[in-house]
Structure 1
Amino acid sequence: MQTVKKESYLIFLCYVLSFLLLFLDINSKVVFLHTSSRFLADPVQSRLFKIKSFVLSPFGALALGDKEKLGKLELKIAELNSLVVSFKTIEEENVKMRKLLGADVPSNWQFAPARVVWANGDSVSVYADINTKKETPVVATSDLTKGGVLVGRVEESFGRNHKVLLPSAPNIKISVTVRGTNGDKQSLLPGNKHASGIIEGKGGKIMLGQVLAADPIGEGDLVVTSGDSGFPPDLLIGYVKNITTNTNLASKEAEVAPAVNVTDLDYVFFVTKY
């Protein structure tokens, strides 16, 4: 019974002290207690913060180091990817160059590779690491022939970007010879010559004209450069189709199907010497 009374007194005393402290705090009578507690707590808090910083700093430094290493690794990967692309480009150029050098063209000819940027109508834009002059012949390789294929000639240059006019461009005229295939479309032997003529660009179309009516030409015959008109000889331009005979002028005309589609080309070559 006495124990219960003591507990009741203690509870009552706690309530009284609580209300007293609350009253004193409201009236700013216990500021010294706050100051004293801060005086004791601040050093402890500061010490704990230092311990925390000491413990975590190695991990932070490690994380920062890993982040820097990761950034350097990503940069290195980007550089390697760029090199891979460059090597692939060089490899493609070498394949095309080897094929062209192995074609039926004179060994003293010299070439410079150029990458096709875009083709538009009767012209194609190419990029090359050299400067070249106007009217430089541009050729390509093709599985359809053992020799080089005429793409066109340089019309104008802007730094290392060059505009190349195709044989179908208006006002382009090229002296040509027509040769029979003897069943072999890859043959460019001079002995197969059937006729001479001039091809002229008509804007999207190549027309063969000034062929004597007596000269035998047929569908599928090869049309190649004669070596005049500022172009090297024996470059394939295309194939004869749609032959018409003008009886009044005693001549023949025909359309020429291009040997290559420039939109399918990735690389072409400037003929820098021939």
Structure 2
Amino acid sequence: MESKRSKYVLISLTVFCVLLIGLTSIHDEWLAPLRTGVGYLLIPVQSGVNSVGSSIYDELTDLAKLRNAQKENEEMKDLITQLTEENTRLQANELELNRLRKLYALDQQYGQYEKVGARVIANDSGNWFQVFRIDKGSKDGIAVDMNVVAGGGLVGIVTDVGANYATVRSIIDDSSRVSSMAMQSGDSCIVAGDLTLFKEGRLRITNVLKESDLKDGDKIVTSNISSVFLPGLLVGYAADITNDTNNVTKSGYLIPAAEFDSLQEVLVITKLKADMMKEESSSAPQPEPASAESAAQ
């Protein structure tokens, strides 16, 4: 059955080929109408096929462009992220460099004292660094009552020490009192901590004699009579000095030299005022003992 069907298919194809050969051998005048009819039939179809093909090709091209654009967009986003991170790091490095330069200048300013650099690692509360902790302790030579400076001037004093940390009470703390004096005139005063007042960027200056020559803009430094603060450390600048109502003393305000809202690095002066006083006492000339003759007299 299958062999007969194959024979029929072969015969049909043979006849079709013979007809095609015969048609091609007929004169063009006979084929012209056929070509025309076929043209009318095929040209619209061909145009439609070309139009659809072009449309599909354009869509595929646009899709490829879109995918390329999306890929480039993702690459650009990654690049922008990397550049942003790098820019942030550079800005942070620049800020740190500026802070370290200020510390170096401060180190040179007080070159007569040995110092240890430290980073601020915590503060007790609030926005101000009235009490804070640093990452250096007794193993680094830090001891209680050592003076701390940063940002151009006095910051505070060490109040507690562990092996790897130390606690600093700053001069803006309510309990802080710093014996000070005017650098220009030598007139003594007290710089009192006041957190409420410091919100205005100022501290209070008290105990100034009325006859003193202390005036606005004078540099205020730690005095020689302080029991814990080393002499000559810049505390800040006098402002709004006026006579008190008792008509005996003056008072006013101090603009601190250090910035207490952004402390990150500090210098701890490893020289203690108590040790300095002992050295001065031992180096002072001692009176000669009285002779027996004079003692008898």
TM category, shorter: 0.5 to 0.7
Q: Is the 8 A contact 1:207 1:256 kept in 2?
A: yes
| Residue 268 of structure 1, CA deviation | 0.5
Q: How many positions carry a matched residue from both structures?
A: 177
Match of 1:165 among 160, 164, 169: 169
Q: Distance in 2 between matches of 1:238 and 1:94?
A: 20
Q: Is the 8 A contact 1:173 1:229 kept in 2?
A: no
Q: Secondary structure at the residue paired with 1:220?
A: coil
Cα deviation digits, residues 140-171 of structure 1 (max 9, x gap):
143xxxxxx10001223455333321212122
Question: Is residue 98 of structure 1 aligned with residue 104 of structure 2?
Answer: yes
Q: Percent identity?
A: 26
Q: Secondary structure at the residue paired with 2:187?
A: strand
Q: Secondary structure at the residue paired with 1:100?
A: helix
The amino acid that maps onto 1:212 is L
Question: Is residue 200 of structure 1 aligned with residue 192 of structure 2?
Answer: yes
| Residue 255 of structure 1, CA deviation | 1.3
Q: Distance in 2 between matches of 1:265 and 1:252?
A: 32
Q: Secondary structure at the residue paired with 1:262?
A: coil
Q: Distance in 2 between matches of 1:106 and 1:169?
A: 27
Question: Is residue 151 of structure 1 aligned with residue 155 of structure 2?
Answer: yes
Aligned counterpart, 2:246 = 248
Aligned counterpart, 1:236 = 234
Aligned counterpart, 1:140 = 150
What is the TM-score with the length of structure 1 in the denominator?
Answer: 0.54
The amino acid that maps onto 2:137 is I
Q: Distance in 2 between matches of 1:96 and 1:127?
A: 18
Distance 1:254 1:122, change over 3 A: farther
Q: Is the 8 A contact 1:170 1:200 kept in 2?
A: yes
What is the TM-score with the length of structure 2 in the denominator?
Answer: 0.51
The amino acid that maps onto 2:218 is D
| Residue 258 of structure 1, CA deviation | 1.0
Q: Distance in 1 between matches of 2:228 and 2:2?
A: 130
Distance 1:244 1:97, change over 3 A: closer
The amino acid that maps onto 1:172 is S
Q: Alignment RMSD, CA only? A: 3.4
Distance 1:96 1:128, change over 3 A: farther
The amino acid that maps onto 1:128 is D
Q: Is the 8 A contact 1:169 1:204 kept in 2?
A: no
Aligned counterpart, 1:261 = 259
Aligned counterpart, 1:176 = 180
Q: Is the 8 A contact 2:151 2:257 kept in 1?
A: no
Q: Secondary structure at the residue paired with 1:101?
A: helix
Q: Distance in 2 between matches of 1:165 and 1:157?
A: 12
| Residue 253 of structure 1, CA deviation | 0.8
Q: Distance in 1 between matches of 2:210 and 2:151?
A: 32
Aligned counterpart, 1:44 = none
Match of 1:123 among 123, 130, 144: 130
The amino acid that maps onto 1:236 is L
Q: Is the 8 A contact 1:218 1:240 kept in 2?
A: yes
